[in-house]
Amino acid sequence: MAAARGEFSSRFGFLMAASGSAVGLGNIWGFPTQAASNGGAAFLFTYLILAFALAYPALMAELIIGRHARANAVTALQAISPSKNGKLFGLVVGFVGITTVSFILSFYAIVSGWMIAFFIDPMARLVGADSVSAWLTNDAVLRNGFFVVVFMMLTVWIISAGVKDGIEKWASRLMPSLILILFLLIIYVLTLPGAMEGLKAYLLPDFSRVFDPDLLVSAMGQAFFSLSLGVGTMLIYGSYIPKHENLPVVGGLVAVLDIGIAVMAGMLILPAMYVALANGVPIFDDGGGLIAGPRLIVSVLPALFNSMGFVGIFVALAFFALMTIASLTSSISMLEVPVAYSVEHHGIGRKTSAIVLGALITIISLVIVFNFDSLFDLVVSYTTEISQPLLGLAFCLFGGWIWNRNEILEEIKQGSPDAESGLFWKVWPFYIKFICPVAILIVYFQ
Protein backbone atom coordinates (compact mmCIF):
# COMPACT_ATOMS: atom_id res chain seq x y z
CA MET A 1 0.00 0.00 0.00
CA ALA A 2 2.84 2.37 0.90
CA ALA A 3 4.19 2.31 -2.65
CA ALA A 4 0.83 3.33 -4.05
CA ARG A 5 0.62 6.48 -1.96
CA GLY A 6 1.00 9.78 -3.73
CA GLU A 7 3.77 12.25 -2.97
CA PHE A 8 4.47 15.86 -3.92
CA SER A 9 7.21 15.90 -6.52
CA SER A 10 8.81 19.18 -5.46
CA ARG A 11 8.97 21.70 -2.66
CA PHE A 12 7.28 24.22 -4.94
CA GLY A 13 4.43 21.79 -5.58
CA PHE A 14 3.86 21.25 -1.88
CA LEU A 15 4.06 24.97 -1.14
CA MET A 16 1.50 25.78 -3.81
CA ALA A 17 -0.83 22.99 -2.65
CA ALA A 18 -0.61 23.86 1.04
CA SER A 19 -0.77 27.60 0.58
CA GLY A 20 -3.60 27.00 -1.89
CA SER A 21 -5.47 25.22 0.87
CA ALA A 22 -4.72 28.01 3.32
CA VAL A 23 -5.50 30.92 1.01
CA GLY A 24 -9.24 30.90 0.51
CA LEU A 25 -12.38 32.89 0.99
CA GLY A 26 -11.30 33.55 4.59
CA ASN A 27 -8.27 35.55 3.47
CA ILE A 28 -10.26 37.76 1.17
CA TRP A 29 -13.57 38.45 2.85
CA GLY A 30 -12.51 37.99 6.46
CA PHE A 31 -9.06 39.26 7.11
CA PRO A 32 -8.97 42.68 5.37
CA THR A 33 -12.17 44.05 6.88
CA GLN A 34 -11.31 42.65 10.27
CA ALA A 35 -7.96 44.41 10.13
CA ALA A 36 -9.45 47.70 8.97
CA SER A 37 -12.12 47.71 11.66
CA ASN A 38 -9.73 46.77 14.43
CA GLY A 39 -6.72 49.00 14.47
CA GLY A 40 -5.22 48.65 10.98
CA ALA A 41 -1.47 48.08 11.08
CA ALA A 42 -1.69 47.51 14.83
CA PHE A 43 -4.03 44.60 14.12
CA LEU A 44 -1.70 43.26 11.44
CA PHE A 45 1.09 43.28 13.94
CA THR A 46 -0.94 41.40 16.58
CA TYR A 47 -2.20 38.97 13.97
CA LEU A 48 1.33 38.23 12.85
CA ILE A 49 2.44 37.47 16.38
CA LEU A 50 -0.60 35.28 17.07
CA ALA A 51 -0.27 33.43 13.81
CA PHE A 52 3.38 32.63 14.40
CA ALA A 53 3.12 31.96 18.11
CA LEU A 54 -0.05 29.85 18.03
CA ALA A 55 -1.21 28.82 14.59
CA TYR A 56 2.22 27.91 13.20
CA PRO A 57 2.99 25.42 16.04
CA ALA A 58 -0.40 23.77 15.48
CA LEU A 59 0.26 23.61 11.73
CA MET A 60 3.60 21.95 12.45
CA ALA A 61 1.93 19.34 14.67
CA GLU A 62 -0.27 18.30 11.76
CA LEU A 63 2.54 18.27 9.22
CA ILE A 64 4.85 16.24 11.45
CA ILE A 65 2.19 13.69 12.40
CA GLY A 66 1.14 13.30 8.78
CA ARG A 67 4.61 12.86 7.37
CA HIS A 68 5.58 10.44 10.10
CA ALA A 69 2.55 8.18 9.71
CA ARG A 70 2.30 8.58 5.93
CA ALA A 71 -1.43 8.09 6.27
CA ASN A 72 -4.83 9.73 6.58
CA ALA A 73 -5.85 11.34 9.88
CA VAL A 74 -7.63 8.33 11.39
CA THR A 75 -4.79 5.90 10.74
CA ALA A 76 -2.11 8.45 11.61
CA LEU A 77 -3.53 9.48 14.97
CA GLN A 78 -3.97 5.85 15.95
CA ALA A 79 -0.45 5.01 14.84
CA ILE A 80 1.22 7.63 17.01
CA SER A 81 -0.76 6.76 20.15
CA PRO A 82 1.01 4.21 22.31
CA SER A 83 -1.93 3.32 24.56
CA LYS A 84 -5.30 1.75 23.84
CA ASN A 85 -7.16 4.81 25.05
CA GLY A 86 -4.92 7.02 22.95
CA LYS A 87 -5.81 4.97 19.88
CA LEU A 88 -9.49 5.28 20.63
CA PHE A 89 -9.08 9.03 21.02
CA GLY A 90 -7.23 9.06 17.68
CA LEU A 91 -10.09 7.25 16.02
CA VAL A 92 -12.64 9.71 17.37
CA VAL A 93 -10.61 12.83 16.53
CA GLY A 94 -9.85 11.52 13.04
CA PHE A 95 -13.52 10.87 12.37
CA VAL A 96 -14.75 14.14 13.79
CA GLY A 97 -12.13 15.85 11.60
CA ILE A 98 -13.36 14.06 8.46
CA THR A 99 -16.97 14.91 9.26
CA THR A 100 -16.18 18.52 10.08
CA VAL A 101 -14.20 19.15 6.93
CA SER A 102 -16.97 17.55 4.85
CA PHE A 103 -19.48 19.97 6.34
CA ILE A 104 -17.09 22.89 5.86
CA LEU A 105 -16.86 21.89 2.21
CA SER A 106 -20.67 21.70 1.98
CA PHE A 107 -21.07 25.40 2.83
CA TYR A 108 -17.86 26.45 1.10
CA ALA A 109 -19.14 24.94 -2.15
CA ILE A 110 -22.23 27.16 -2.03
CA VAL A 111 -20.22 30.35 -1.76
CA SER A 112 -17.69 29.09 -4.29
CA GLY A 113 -20.58 28.43 -6.66
CA TRP A 114 -21.52 32.10 -6.42
CA MET A 115 -17.94 32.96 -7.35
CA ILE A 116 -18.20 30.92 -10.55
CA ALA A 117 -21.54 32.53 -11.40
CA PHE A 118 -20.07 36.01 -10.91
CA PHE A 119 -17.04 34.98 -12.94
CA ILE A 120 -19.20 33.97 -15.91
CA ASP A 121 -21.39 37.07 -15.61
CA PRO A 122 -18.91 39.57 -17.15
CA MET A 123 -18.55 37.28 -20.17
CA ALA A 124 -22.32 37.12 -20.55
CA ARG A 125 -22.46 40.91 -20.43
CA LEU A 126 -19.68 41.24 -22.99
CA VAL A 127 -21.70 39.26 -25.51
CA GLY A 128 -24.86 41.14 -24.58
CA ALA A 129 -26.66 38.19 -22.97
CA ASP A 130 -28.50 40.32 -20.46
CA SER A 131 -31.02 37.74 -19.33
CA VAL A 132 -28.24 35.24 -18.65
CA SER A 133 -26.41 37.93 -16.73
CA ALA A 134 -29.49 38.60 -14.63
CA TRP A 135 -29.90 34.90 -13.91
CA LEU A 136 -26.26 34.60 -12.88
CA THR A 137 -26.27 37.48 -10.45
CA ASN A 138 -29.69 37.12 -8.83
CA ASP A 139 -29.78 35.06 -5.70
CA ALA A 140 -32.04 32.08 -6.42
CA VAL A 141 -32.21 28.47 -5.33
CA LEU A 142 -31.88 27.13 -8.85
CA ARG A 143 -28.78 29.17 -9.63
CA ASN A 144 -27.19 28.29 -6.29
CA GLY A 145 -27.90 24.59 -6.67
CA PHE A 146 -26.61 24.53 -10.24
CA PHE A 147 -23.29 26.14 -9.36
CA VAL A 148 -22.79 23.97 -6.28
CA VAL A 149 -22.91 21.01 -8.64
CA VAL A 150 -20.52 22.64 -11.11
CA PHE A 151 -18.05 23.55 -8.39
CA MET A 152 -18.16 20.12 -6.78
CA MET A 153 -17.63 18.46 -10.15
CA LEU A 154 -14.47 20.51 -10.64
CA THR A 155 -13.26 19.57 -7.16
CA VAL A 156 -13.98 15.88 -7.70
CA TRP A 157 -12.28 15.94 -11.08
CA ILE A 158 -9.02 17.33 -9.67
CA ILE A 159 -9.03 15.00 -6.67
CA SER A 160 -9.69 11.95 -8.87
CA ALA A 161 -6.45 12.63 -10.70
CA GLY A 162 -4.38 12.11 -7.54
CA VAL A 163 -1.79 13.97 -5.52
CA LYS A 164 0.75 14.74 -8.20
CA ASP A 165 -1.41 14.89 -11.31
CA GLY A 166 -4.38 16.49 -9.61
CA ILE A 167 -3.63 18.53 -6.50
CA GLU A 168 -0.03 19.47 -7.23
CA LYS A 169 -0.49 20.10 -10.92
CA TRP A 170 -3.51 22.36 -10.47
CA ALA A 171 -2.23 24.18 -7.41
CA SER A 172 1.03 24.91 -9.22
CA ARG A 173 -0.90 26.45 -12.09
CA LEU A 174 -3.56 28.24 -10.13
CA MET A 175 -1.66 29.76 -7.22
CA PRO A 176 0.86 31.75 -9.30
CA SER A 177 -2.09 33.00 -11.39
CA LEU A 178 -3.85 34.04 -8.21
CA ILE A 179 -0.84 36.04 -7.04
CA LEU A 180 -0.46 37.68 -10.44
CA ILE A 181 -4.13 38.66 -10.66
CA LEU A 182 -4.00 40.00 -7.12
CA PHE A 183 -0.99 42.20 -7.97
CA LEU A 184 -2.56 43.55 -11.13
CA LEU A 185 -5.83 44.33 -9.39
CA ILE A 186 -4.05 46.11 -6.53
CA ILE A 187 -2.09 48.28 -8.94
CA TYR A 188 -5.19 49.19 -10.89
CA VAL A 189 -7.44 49.90 -7.92
CA LEU A 190 -4.81 52.05 -6.22
CA THR A 191 -4.97 54.50 -9.13
CA LEU A 192 -8.69 55.19 -8.59
CA PRO A 193 -10.14 58.11 -6.61
CA GLY A 194 -10.83 57.18 -3.01
CA ALA A 195 -8.30 54.32 -2.93
CA MET A 196 -5.84 56.14 -0.69
CA GLU A 197 -8.56 56.64 1.92
CA GLY A 198 -9.02 52.89 1.94
CA LEU A 199 -5.33 52.27 2.27
CA LYS A 200 -5.26 54.62 5.23
CA ALA A 201 -8.21 52.91 6.86
CA TYR A 202 -6.42 49.61 6.37
CA LEU A 203 -2.97 50.53 7.50
CA LEU A 204 -3.00 53.49 9.88
CA PRO A 205 -2.19 51.92 13.23
CA ASP A 206 -4.52 52.41 16.14
CA PHE A 207 -3.07 50.66 19.15
CA SER A 208 -6.03 51.35 21.39
CA ARG A 209 -7.93 48.35 20.00
CA VAL A 210 -5.31 45.65 19.84
CA PHE A 211 -5.36 44.51 23.45
CA ASP A 212 -9.10 44.05 23.46
CA PRO A 213 -9.58 40.37 24.46
CA ASP A 214 -12.48 39.87 22.04
CA LEU A 215 -10.29 41.00 19.25
CA LEU A 216 -7.45 38.66 20.16
CA VAL A 217 -9.91 35.82 20.26
CA SER A 218 -11.38 36.52 16.86
CA ALA A 219 -7.93 37.07 15.37
CA MET A 220 -6.92 33.66 16.60
CA GLY A 221 -10.03 32.03 15.19
CA GLN A 222 -9.28 33.71 11.89
CA ALA A 223 -5.69 32.41 11.96
CA PHE A 224 -6.83 28.82 12.61
CA PHE A 225 -9.44 28.81 9.87
CA SER A 226 -7.05 30.50 7.50
CA LEU A 227 -4.32 27.92 8.00
CA SER A 228 -6.88 25.11 7.47
CA LEU A 229 -6.09 23.68 10.91
CA GLY A 230 -7.67 20.96 13.03
CA VAL A 231 -9.53 19.01 10.39
CA GLY A 232 -6.74 16.84 9.02
CA THR A 233 -6.15 18.81 5.82
CA MET A 234 -2.62 19.82 6.67
CA LEU A 235 -2.02 16.37 8.14
CA ILE A 236 -2.86 14.69 4.86
CA TYR A 237 -0.82 17.19 2.81
CA GLY A 238 2.03 16.61 5.31
CA SER A 239 1.78 12.90 4.62
CA TYR A 240 2.66 13.57 0.97
CA ILE A 241 5.83 15.54 1.77
CA PRO A 242 9.04 13.62 0.94
CA LYS A 243 11.20 12.64 3.91
CA HIS A 244 14.14 14.77 2.82
CA GLU A 245 12.20 18.01 3.23
CA ASN A 246 12.93 20.30 6.16
CA LEU A 247 9.54 20.46 7.84
CA PRO A 248 9.93 23.53 10.08
CA VAL A 249 11.08 25.50 7.03
CA VAL A 250 8.34 24.40 4.62
CA GLY A 251 5.70 24.85 7.33
CA GLY A 252 7.04 28.34 7.98
CA LEU A 253 6.85 29.16 4.29
CA VAL A 254 3.22 28.07 4.14
CA ALA A 255 2.39 30.35 7.06
CA VAL A 256 4.28 33.25 5.46
CA LEU A 257 2.48 32.76 2.14
CA ASP A 258 -0.93 32.55 3.79
CA ILE A 259 -0.41 35.64 5.91
CA GLY A 260 1.33 37.50 3.10
CA ILE A 261 -1.55 36.92 0.70
CA ALA A 262 -4.09 37.92 3.37
CA VAL A 263 -2.19 41.18 3.92
CA MET A 264 -2.02 41.79 0.18
CA ALA A 265 -5.71 41.05 -0.19
CA GLY A 266 -6.28 43.93 2.22
CA MET A 267 -4.42 46.25 -0.15
CA LEU A 268 -7.02 45.37 -2.73
CA ILE A 269 -10.22 45.06 -0.69
CA LEU A 270 -10.00 48.19 1.44
CA PRO A 271 -9.02 50.56 -1.34
CA ALA A 272 -11.73 48.97 -3.52
CA MET A 273 -14.32 49.52 -0.79
CA TYR A 274 -13.41 53.18 -0.45
CA VAL A 275 -13.46 53.64 -4.20
CA ALA A 276 -16.95 52.16 -4.05
CA LEU A 277 -17.82 54.61 -1.30
CA ALA A 278 -16.59 57.48 -3.46
CA ASN A 279 -18.87 56.13 -6.21
CA GLY A 280 -21.88 56.18 -3.90
CA VAL A 281 -21.96 52.50 -2.91
CA PRO A 282 -22.67 51.95 0.81
CA ILE A 283 -19.82 50.05 2.51
CA PHE A 284 -20.87 50.20 6.17
CA ASP A 285 -23.48 47.98 7.78
CA ASP A 286 -26.16 49.12 10.22
CA GLY A 287 -23.79 48.81 13.15
CA GLY A 288 -21.33 51.19 11.49
CA GLY A 289 -18.75 48.45 10.76
CA LEU A 290 -17.41 47.63 7.31
CA ILE A 291 -19.53 45.14 5.42
CA ALA A 292 -17.70 41.80 5.44
CA GLY A 293 -18.27 38.20 4.41
CA PRO A 294 -20.45 37.10 1.49
CA ARG A 295 -22.27 40.45 1.28
CA LEU A 296 -18.99 42.23 0.62
CA ILE A 297 -18.21 39.90 -2.25
CA VAL A 298 -21.60 39.54 -3.91
CA SER A 299 -23.06 42.99 -3.37
CA VAL A 300 -20.54 45.73 -2.47
CA LEU A 301 -17.82 44.80 -4.95
CA PRO A 302 -20.14 43.99 -7.88
CA ALA A 303 -21.79 47.39 -7.33
CA LEU A 304 -18.34 48.94 -7.57
CA PHE A 305 -17.51 47.06 -10.77
CA ASN A 306 -20.83 48.13 -12.29
CA SER A 307 -20.07 51.76 -11.50
CA MET A 308 -16.77 51.52 -13.42
CA GLY A 309 -18.36 51.20 -16.86
CA PHE A 310 -16.68 49.11 -19.56
CA VAL A 311 -13.39 48.44 -17.70
CA GLY A 312 -15.50 47.25 -14.80
CA ILE A 313 -16.36 44.15 -16.82
CA PHE A 314 -12.71 43.14 -17.00
CA VAL A 315 -12.01 44.06 -13.40
CA ALA A 316 -14.97 41.88 -12.34
CA LEU A 317 -13.70 39.04 -14.51
CA ALA A 318 -10.25 39.22 -12.92
CA PHE A 319 -11.60 39.55 -9.41
CA PHE A 320 -13.96 36.57 -9.64
CA ALA A 321 -11.28 34.49 -11.34
CA LEU A 322 -9.18 35.20 -8.27
CA MET A 323 -12.01 34.18 -5.96
CA THR A 324 -12.76 31.00 -7.89
CA ILE A 325 -9.11 29.98 -7.79
CA ALA A 326 -8.86 30.71 -4.08
CA SER A 327 -11.96 28.56 -3.47
CA LEU A 328 -10.93 25.67 -5.65
CA THR A 329 -7.43 25.22 -4.23
CA SER A 330 -9.04 25.13 -0.77
CA SER A 331 -11.91 22.82 -1.66
CA ILE A 332 -9.63 20.17 -3.16
CA SER A 333 -7.70 20.08 0.10
CA MET A 334 -10.97 19.54 1.97
CA LEU A 335 -12.20 16.70 -0.24
CA GLU A 336 -8.80 15.01 -0.04
CA VAL A 337 -9.35 14.34 3.70
CA PRO A 338 -12.29 11.90 3.40
CA VAL A 339 -11.01 10.55 0.06
CA ALA A 340 -7.60 9.60 1.49
CA TYR A 341 -9.35 7.84 4.35
CA SER A 342 -11.62 5.90 2.05
CA VAL A 343 -8.73 4.90 -0.23
CA GLU A 344 -6.35 3.87 2.53
CA HIS A 345 -8.70 2.46 5.09
CA HIS A 346 -11.27 0.76 2.92
CA GLY A 347 -9.21 0.04 -0.16
CA ILE A 348 -11.74 1.79 -2.40
CA GLY A 349 -10.26 3.27 -5.58
CA ARG A 350 -9.44 7.00 -5.62
CA LYS A 351 -11.78 7.83 -8.43
CA THR A 352 -14.73 5.98 -6.95
CA SER A 353 -14.04 7.48 -3.54
CA ALA A 354 -13.85 11.00 -4.95
CA ILE A 355 -17.09 10.61 -6.90
CA VAL A 356 -19.10 8.97 -4.12
CA LEU A 357 -17.89 11.27 -1.34
CA GLY A 358 -18.13 14.31 -3.60
CA ALA A 359 -21.72 13.35 -4.44
CA LEU A 360 -22.59 12.93 -0.75
CA ILE A 361 -21.17 16.34 0.10
CA THR A 362 -22.99 17.86 -2.87
CA ILE A 363 -26.25 16.46 -1.51
CA ILE A 364 -25.57 18.07 1.88
CA SER A 365 -24.80 21.34 0.07
CA LEU A 366 -28.07 21.14 -1.82
CA VAL A 367 -30.00 20.53 1.38
CA ILE A 368 -28.41 23.72 2.73
CA VAL A 369 -29.21 25.59 -0.49
CA PHE A 370 -32.87 24.63 -0.18
CA ASN A 371 -33.00 25.61 3.49
CA PHE A 372 -30.51 28.44 3.33
CA ASP A 373 -31.91 30.72 6.01
CA SER A 374 -32.19 28.06 8.63
CA LEU A 375 -29.10 25.98 7.86
CA PHE A 376 -26.27 28.04 6.38
CA ASP A 377 -25.22 30.03 9.44
CA LEU A 378 -25.80 27.02 11.64
CA VAL A 379 -23.42 24.81 9.67
CA VAL A 380 -20.82 27.59 9.48
CA SER A 381 -20.84 28.19 13.20
CA TYR A 382 -20.91 24.53 14.26
CA THR A 383 -17.99 23.65 12.08
CA THR A 384 -15.77 26.69 12.37
CA GLU A 385 -16.57 27.99 15.84
CA ILE A 386 -17.16 24.79 17.77
CA SER A 387 -15.68 21.81 16.03
CA GLN A 388 -12.53 23.31 14.52
CA PRO A 389 -11.09 24.84 17.74
CA LEU A 390 -11.75 21.62 19.68
CA LEU A 391 -10.04 19.58 17.00
CA GLY A 392 -7.13 22.04 17.04
CA LEU A 393 -6.87 21.42 20.76
CA ALA A 394 -6.90 17.66 20.21
CA PHE A 395 -4.04 17.93 17.71
CA CYS A 396 -2.00 19.88 20.26
CA LEU A 397 -2.65 17.12 22.80
CA PHE A 398 -1.40 14.54 20.33
CA GLY A 399 1.72 16.56 19.51
CA GLY A 400 2.45 17.63 23.09
CA TRP A 401 1.26 14.84 25.34
CA ILE A 402 0.34 11.64 23.54
CA TRP A 403 3.00 11.10 20.91
CA ASN A 404 6.47 10.13 22.09
CA ARG A 405 8.86 13.08 22.04
CA ASN A 406 11.82 11.12 20.67
CA GLU A 407 9.82 9.92 17.73
CA ILE A 408 8.82 13.47 16.95
CA LEU A 409 12.42 14.58 16.99
CA GLU A 410 13.45 11.65 14.79
CA GLU A 411 10.77 12.64 12.28
CA ILE A 412 11.89 16.27 12.14
CA LYS A 413 15.54 15.23 11.87
CA GLN A 414 14.87 13.33 8.63
CA GLY A 415 14.91 16.50 6.62
CA SER A 416 16.99 18.63 8.97
CA PRO A 417 19.68 16.60 10.75
CA ASP A 418 20.66 19.45 13.10
CA ALA A 419 17.11 20.03 14.25
CA GLU A 420 17.87 19.08 17.85
CA SER A 421 20.04 22.14 18.41
CA GLY A 422 17.87 24.49 16.33
CA LEU A 423 15.47 27.16 17.52
CA PHE A 424 12.39 25.22 16.46
CA TRP A 425 13.10 22.31 18.75
CA LYS A 426 13.92 24.64 21.63
CA VAL A 427 10.54 26.35 21.47
CA TRP A 428 7.98 24.17 19.71
CA PRO A 429 7.60 21.28 22.23
CA PHE A 430 6.82 23.74 24.99
CA TYR A 431 4.37 25.65 22.83
CA ILE A 432 2.48 22.63 21.68
CA LYS A 433 2.32 21.17 25.18
CA PHE A 434 1.26 24.23 27.15
CA ILE A 435 0.74 27.47 25.29
CA CYS A 436 -1.39 26.28 22.36
CA PRO A 437 -3.88 24.19 24.36
CA VAL A 438 -4.41 26.94 26.91
CA ALA A 439 -4.81 29.59 24.22
CA ILE A 440 -7.31 27.48 22.32
CA LEU A 441 -9.32 26.82 25.47
CA ILE A 442 -9.46 30.52 26.19
CA VAL A 443 -10.68 31.21 22.68
CA TYR A 444 -13.18 28.42 22.93
CA PHE A 445 -14.78 29.64 26.11
CA GLN A 446 -15.09 33.12 24.74
Q: How far is the CB of 277 from ligand PHE (least distance, A)?
A: 26
> Which run of H or E residues covers position 211?
none
Judged by beta carbon, residue 27 or residue 155, the one nearer ligand PHE is: 27
Judged by beta carbon, residue 225 or residue 305, the one nearer ligand PHE is: 225
Which segments of 241-309 does DSSP mark as H helices, in order? 247-278, 293-295, 301-307
Question: 217-221: which pairs have CB atoms within 8 A and are 24 or more residues apart?
Answer: 217/442, 217/443, 217/446, 218/34, 219/34, 219/38, 219/43, 219/46, 219/47, 219/50, 220/50, 220/54, 220/55, 220/439, 220/440, 220/443, 221/384, 221/385, 221/389, 221/443
Q: Please give the C-alpha separations between residue 253 and each of 22, 102, 180, 308, in angstroms, as whole numbers.
A: 12, 27, 19, 37
Question: Candidates 180-188, 227-235, 300-308, 426-434 — which segment interacts with ligand PHE by CB under 6 A?
Answer: 227-235
Q: Binding of ligand PHE at residue 334 (CB under 6 A)?
A: yes
Q: Binding of ligand PHE at residue 226 (CB under 6 A)?
A: yes
Distance CA 66, CA 108 (A): 24
Q: Binding of ligand PHE at residue 225 (CB under 6 A)?
A: yes
Q: How far is the CB of 229 from ligand PHE (least distance, A)?
A: 7
Q: Binding of ligand PHE at residue 330 (CB under 6 A)?
A: yes
Q: Binding of ligand PHE at residue 228 (CB under 6 A)?
A: yes
Q: Binding of ligand PHE at residue 338 (CB under 6 A)?
A: no
Helix (H, G, I), strand (E, B) or coil at 243: coil
Judged by beta carbon, residue 71 or residue 101, the one nearer ligand PHE is: 101
Q: How far is the CB of 66 from ligand PHE (least distance, A)?
A: 14
Distance CA 70, CA 72 (A): 7
Cα(first)–Cα(last) distance of the chain, in Å? 44
Q: How far is the CB of 101 from ligand PHE (least distance, A)?
A: 6
Judged by beta carbon, residue 246 or residue 362, the one nearer ligand PHE is: 362
Q: Interface residues for ligand PHE in 15-44 (CB under 6 A)?
A: 21-22, 24-27
Q: How far is the CB of 22 from ligand PHE (least distance, A)?
A: 5
Is the Cβ–Cβ distance between 274 and 201 less than 8 Å? Answer: yes
Residue nearest ligand PHE by beta-carbon distance:
24
Site residues for ligand PHE per CB under 6 A: 21-22, 24-27, 101, 104, 225-226, 228, 231, 233, 330, 333-334
